[in-house]
Structure 1
Amino acid sequence: MFADALHADGIRVDVLVNNAGIMMPPRSQSAQGHESQFTSNHLGHFALTGLVLDLLEAAPTRAWSPSAPRGTGVARSNSMI
C-alpha cells in the first residue's frame, strides 16, 4: 500500500495533491457499496489524506484537492491543512 511504503521509508511529505479521478465509468459499486466514480474521485482522496496525516502534520505541508469544472480549465483549491 502506498501510505505504508511512505511510512516504512520515512519519507517526508511536503505537498499532497489529491488529483486522481475517473469520469463516466460503467455503473458499478465498491466493496463497501459506494458508487465507483464517487469512491475514486472523493472517498479515495479523503482516505489517502487520513492515512498520511501524521506525515503531513510533521512538516510544513499543504494538501490540495483541486477540482475543475469541465471545460473551464479553472481549478479551485480546498486546503485541508
Structure 2
Amino acid sequence: MSGKQVGVQKSSIQEGIAQDIQGAKLTSLAKIPELILELQTGRVDALILEKPVAQQSWHDTSLHYTATGVSEYAPSYR
C-alpha cells in the first residue's frame, strides 16, 4: 500500500489502522458515501472499512471488495 491513496472514515479505528501503513497517503472523510465516491472517481486507490459496512456499501454498487484481517497491516489493532 506504500504510495497509494487510502480512504478512511475520519476519527475511526480504521483511520488509526491506516496511519500505521508505511508510505500510505490518507484521505479522511466524515461519511462512508463520500469515501465510496472518492473510490469510484479514482481519487483514492483503496478504502479501509469494517466488513459489515463494506458489504452493505458494495451491495448497491459495481465495485468489488476484498476482506482482510486487520493483523495483516496493523498487528497492534488485534
- With normalisation by structure 1, the TM-score equals 0.27
Larger radius of gyration, structure 1 or 2? 1
Whichever structure has more strand as a proportion of its residues is 2
